[in-house]
């Protein structure tokens, strides 16, 4: 059976760890959206890997890793990652497949990302400045350059000239030359050629031959372009719908859906975060959780678990279960809060509001649970968790509406509690 693993909050939930953990049950791991704005951390035998574009299954020899058409690829970032993995002894060459329909991020997209943020001033999104939004803009405006276009140098020259000219009209403090952009691109095209395939066809053939696929989401549901806290979102469908459009598969190809959620909440960048903690407790979560961006190093905003937001994710994605991460970060707290509803003026909301203004005006309504003093770090059996931690998890399951099939108690593979199956798939 195939399984989608995606973020149930605002990104950085620990998707990389969970994908790496369950990847041995599958033959293929496929990314369906986002780009190198993602930073998925995986620890193997104490060595740390941060995967940006390459699926988090790459550390298991023999697994095929696929980058789908829904992903935007910066060739520089791709090859930097391939080379970095190569230096660490991980061979990527024979195992990477890239869709010919994936769009490219080019140097002008990065400039346009910075320009757009500067123009927004106070209302900036707080993007990763990787050119993600402008590359998806070009895709939707039908002027994007795709991986498959690298095979046609003449057509490519015209497209690069047009796009660089458009960039120079907007970014007026310096001029970009189109020739070096084209030349660099042609070199990358040459190097990428052996990996380029019709991904939809390749995946459906694999399924026919009984191979199981793991779909790896980037970012999180609340950062989804349609269902997230727009406009403070990324420019792709991080929610489950992205699997179909981003890989060219029908919905029945998705067997189960596992949402990854931290046992508290974080967000990096701007936009509403109802449970955000500003004082000592926010600082405490940030420091014990090492909540600094894997890609940009920015401090992440931290808050209590927001069950309203996670319930929304359960609905948007049809989540079967959660992988609950970073439980150990809460070790040693006297009391822990769970936001189970919002107060908005005189009204109590149990559903995540679809209007951003309303969301911004919401106050979290908390229930308070006792914390635990015995550390949970590294615990591998549910029964070995201190009793208040078991109660906390049970309450999170109740208020979120789905079971926690995986509980993560540390960043290493074996610091994990496996508690059953997702849609019949034994994890």
Site for Mg ion in 17-56 (CB under 5 A): 39
Q: How far is CA 41 from CA 53, 114, 291, 342, 346, in A?
A: 12, 26, 12, 32, 42
Q: What does DSSP say about strands 47-51 and 40-44: parallel, antiparallel, or unpaired?
A: antiparallel
Which of 43, 91, 90 minimizes the C-alpha distance to 325? 43
Contacts of 306 (CB under 8 A, 6+ apart): 9, 265, 274, 275, 339, 364
Told to check if 409 binds ligand GDP by CB under 6 A, we report: yes
User: 308-341 in b/e burial notation, b at 16+ Cβ within 10 A?
Assistant: bbbbbbbebbbbbbbbbbbbbbbbebeebbbbbb
167/300 with CB nearer Mg ion: 300
Residue 75 touches ligand GDP, criterion: CB under 6 A: no
Of ligand GDP, Mg ion, ligand IMO, none, which one does residue 409 interact with (CB within 5 to 8 Å by kind)? ligand GDP
Answer yes or no whether residue 70 interacts with ligand GDP by CB under 6 A. Answer: no
Judged by beta carbon, residue 258 or residue 389, the one nearer Mg ion is: 258
Concerning whether 414 is annotated as a catalytic residue, the answer is no
Closer to ligand GDP by CB, 24 or 155: give it. 24
Contact stretch for ligand GDP (CB under 6 A) within 39-47, 72-80, 330-338, 397-405: 39-47
Which residue reads 């990847």 in tokens? 23
Tell me which of 294, 314, 321, 327 binds Mg ion, using CB under 5 A: 294
Burial profile 69-78: b = 16 or more Cβ within 10 angstroms, e = fewer:
bbbbbbbebb
CB of 266 to ligand GDP, least distance (A): 8
Name the binder of 133 from ligand IMO, ligand GDP, Mg ion, none, CB < 5-8 A by kind.
ligand IMO
What tokens does 200 get?
Answer: 């939809």
Residue of the chain from 408, 417, 425, 427 that contacts ligand GDP (CB under 6 A): 408
Q: What secondary structure letter does DSSP report for 318?
A: T
Whole-number minimum distance, CB 234 to ligand IMO, in Å? 3
x/- contact string, 322-341, with ligand GDP (CB under 6 A)? ---xx-xx------------
The yes-or-no answer on residue 40 being catalytic is yes
Bond prior to 231 in cis (omega within 30° of 0): yes
296 binds ligand GDP (CB under 6 A): no
Q: Which of 36, 40, 103, 109 is catalytic?
A: 40
Mapping DSSP to helix (H, G, I), strand (E, B) and coil, where does residue 95 land? helix
d(CA 224, CA 221): 5
Active-site positions read 12, 40
The residues binding ligand GDP (CB under 6 A) are 7, 11-17, 39-41, 43, 290, 294, 325-326, 328-329, 408-411
């Amino acid at each position: 059976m195939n399984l989608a693993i995606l973020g149930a909050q605002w990104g950085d939930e620990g998707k990389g760890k969970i994908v790496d953990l369950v990847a041995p049950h599958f033959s293929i791991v496929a990314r369906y959206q986002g780009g190198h704005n993602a930073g998925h951390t995986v620890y193997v035998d104490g060595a740390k890997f941060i995967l940006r574009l390459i699926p988090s299954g790459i550390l298991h020899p023999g697994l095929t890793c696929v980058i789908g058409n829904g992903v935007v690829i910066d060739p520089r970032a791709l090859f930097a990652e391939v080379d970095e993995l190569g230096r660490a002894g991980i061979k990527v060459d024979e195992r990477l497949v890239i869709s010919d329909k994936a769009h490219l991020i080019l140097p002008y997209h990065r400039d346009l990302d910075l320009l757009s943020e500067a123009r927004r001033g106070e209302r900036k999104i707080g993007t990763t400045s990787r050119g993600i939004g402008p590359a998806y803009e070009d895709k939707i405006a039908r002027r994007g350059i795709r991986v498959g276009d690298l095979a046609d140098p003449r057509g490519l020259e015209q497209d690069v000239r047009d796009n660089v000219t458009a960039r120079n009209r907007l970014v007026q403090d310096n001029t970009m030359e189109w020739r070096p952009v084209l030349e660099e691109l042609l070199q990358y095209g040459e190097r990428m050629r052996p990996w380029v395939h019709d991904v939809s066809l390749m995946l459906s053939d694999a399924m026919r031959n009984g191979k199981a696929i793991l779909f790896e989401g980037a970012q999180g549901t609340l950062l989804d372009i349609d269902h997230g806290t727009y406009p403070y979102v990324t420019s792709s469908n991080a929610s489950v719908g992205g699997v179909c459009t981003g890989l060219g598969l029908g919905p029945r190809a998705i067997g189960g859906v596992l949402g990854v959620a931290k046992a508290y909440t974080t967000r990096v960048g701007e936009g509403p975060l109802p449970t955000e903690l500003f004082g000592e407790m926010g600082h405490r979560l940030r420091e014990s959780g090492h909540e600094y961006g894997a890609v940009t190093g920015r401090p992440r905003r931290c808050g209590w678990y927001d069950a309203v937001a996670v319930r929304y994710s359960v609905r948007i994605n049809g989540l079967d279960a959660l992988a609950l991460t970073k439980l150990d970060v809460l070790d040693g707290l006297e009391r822990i809060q769970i936001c189970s509803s919002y107060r908005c003026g005189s009204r109590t909301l149990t559903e995540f509001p679809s209007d951003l203004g309303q969301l911004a005006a919401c106050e979290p309504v908390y229930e308070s649970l006792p914390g635990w003093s015995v550390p949970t770090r590294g615990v591998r059996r549910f029964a070995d968790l201190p009793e208040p931690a078991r109660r906390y998890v049970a309450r999170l399951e109740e208020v979120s509406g789905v079971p926690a099939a995986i509980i993560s108690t540390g960043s290493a593979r074996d610091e994990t509690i496996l508690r059953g199956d997702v849609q019949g798939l034994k994890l």
